[in-house]
Amino acid sequence: MQEDSLVDLNNDDAIEDFFAPSGRKRLSDDFKTGYVAIVGRPNVGKSTLMNHLLGQKLSITSRKPQTTRHRIHGILSNDEMQAVFVDTPGIHRNEVRAINERMNKAAVSALVDVDLVLFVVDSDQWRDDDLLVLQKLGNTNLTVVLVINKADTLKDKGTLLPLIETFSDSFDFADIVPVSALKNQNLDRLQEVIASHLPIAAPIYNTEQITDRSERFLASEIIREKIMRSAGDEVPYDLTVQIDGFKDEPAHTDPKTGRPRKACTFIDATIYVERTGQKAIVIGDKGQRIKQVGMDARKDMELLFGKKIMLTLWVKIKRGWSDDERALTSLGY
């Protein structure tokens, strides 16, 4: 490391310059920072909420419940605060497979050492799994803000106030904020509420950073999302993606042709399913589905990573992986 890149840890100004690069306002004395867990049952819009709060797609989404399988940190930094959102899998009643147990553990463990919880519910679909989440929150001493998502879909807007009153009677929420994550409605108000509950502290991450997850992880999630969106109800849940190769190639001159080559990242990925029929679904007729998945995933990666991507996909059968503890660990669960 060069000497001029070192940060003087005894110099507050130097530390602040590191977290707030040149061109940004210096941090105020009452700057707030904290971890914010986003929890709820499957399919209430937790990932969509985080993506729209960040102003950038980071966590994958689809209409299918349990799309999110891992905890993902999304970092929102502005002049007043740095909120490190923890997007979690939907908490649901345990099924027989090991992967469901691991997803629930990942979601519940996100409640450790956070400063605030956003409990997300659907405005018109209160279910038993919502009560399950509420019970787990009741076993903590955490500050909880209720976020009533999809408020724009209520046919009778007059039902919103009684709904808020009902929720208020069920739990001692610090605040209740109705929003539409998909349509960016009332998210400014939600950010104000979040900031009001975070402690005064210096940023944890560089203010230009949006996640602590690696590009390899994000690439695998993007591929999985494209399969789920492309195949619709046909796609099996017993599907996962493993990145086998991730190689950055700098801009250079091709030694054979003498032509300049742009910088590019070469990504090799394997899509694992559990049965032969599932493999056929993912590949599609004459390979058209997997080809489209690759094209769509590459475009999203280039947008997110800001560089050219060359993507190669394989589909393989790995029988019973979703209920195999060893396989789950090797696949990053």
Q: Is 41 annotated as a binding residue?
A: yes
Q: Is 98 annotated as a binding residue?
A: no
Q: Supply the pLDDT for residue 4.
A: 36
Q: Supply the pLDDT for residue 275.
A: 84
Q: Is 40 annotated as a binding residue?
A: yes
**Contact predicate 307/263, CB 8 Å:** yes
Q: Is 55 annotated as a binding residue?
A: no
Q: Is 150 annotated as a binding residue?
A: yes
Decide yes or no: CATH 3.30.300.20 for domain 215-330: yes
Tell me which of 309 and 253 has the higher pLDDT.
309
Is the pLDDT at 309 greater than 90? The verdict is yes
Q: Is 212 annotated as a binding residue?
A: no
Q: Which long-range contacts (CB under 8 A, 24 or more apart) does 106-114 make?
A: 106/69, 106/70, 106/71, 107/39, 107/71, 108/136, 109/71, 110/37, 110/39, 110/71, 110/86, 111/37, 111/39, 111/136, 111/137, 111/140, 111/142, 113/35, 114/34, 114/35, 114/36, 114/37, 114/86, 114/142
Q: What's the whole-number mean pLDDT along residues 294-307?
A: 93
Q: Supply the pLDDT for residue 235.
A: 61
Q: Supply the pLDDT for residue 143.
A: 93
Nearest Cα neighbor of 72 from 58, 62, 86, 82 is 86
Q: Is 61 annotated as a binding residue?
A: no
Q: What is the pTM of this model?
A: 0.74
Mean pLDDT over all residues of the chain? 80
Is the pLDDT at 6 greater than 70? The verdict is no
The percent of residues in the chain predicted with pLDDT above 90, rounded, is 35
Q: Is 90 annotated as a binding residue?
A: yes
Q: What's the whole-number mean pLDDT along residues 141-169?
A: 83
Both tokens of 266, joined, read 């070469």
Name the segment(s) of the chain with CATH classification 3.40.50.300.
3-197
CA–CA dist 57, 88 (Å, integer): 15
Q: Supply the pLDDT for residue 105.
A: 60
Q: Is 26 annotated as a binding residue?
A: no
Q: Is 174 annotated as a binding residue?
A: no
Q: Is 51 annotated as a binding residue?
A: no
Q: Supply the pLDDT for residue 297.
A: 95
Is the pLDDT at 8 greater than 50? The verdict is no
Q: What's the whole-number mean pLDDT along residues 98-123?
A: 71
| Confidence tier at 233 by pLDDT (50, 70, 90) | low
Q: Is 300 annotated as a binding residue?
A: no
CA–CA dist 333, 326 (Å, integer): 10
Is the pLDDT at 3 greater than 50? The verdict is no
Q: What's the whole-number mean pLDDT along residues 277-281?
A: 88
Q: Give, to the nearest 10 degrees, the angle between helix 46-54 and helix 187-197.
A: 90
Q: Supply the pLDDT for residue 43.
A: 80
Q: Is 247 annotated as a binding residue?
A: no
CATH superfamily assigned to domain 3-197? P-loop containing nucleotide triphosphate hydrolases (3.40.50.300)
Q: Is 312 annotated as a binding residue?
A: no
Q: Is 158 annotated as a binding residue?
A: no
Is the pLDDT at 270 greater than 80? The verdict is yes
Name the segment(s) of the chain with CATH classification 3.30.300.20.
215-330
Is the pLDDT at 236 greater than 60? The verdict is no
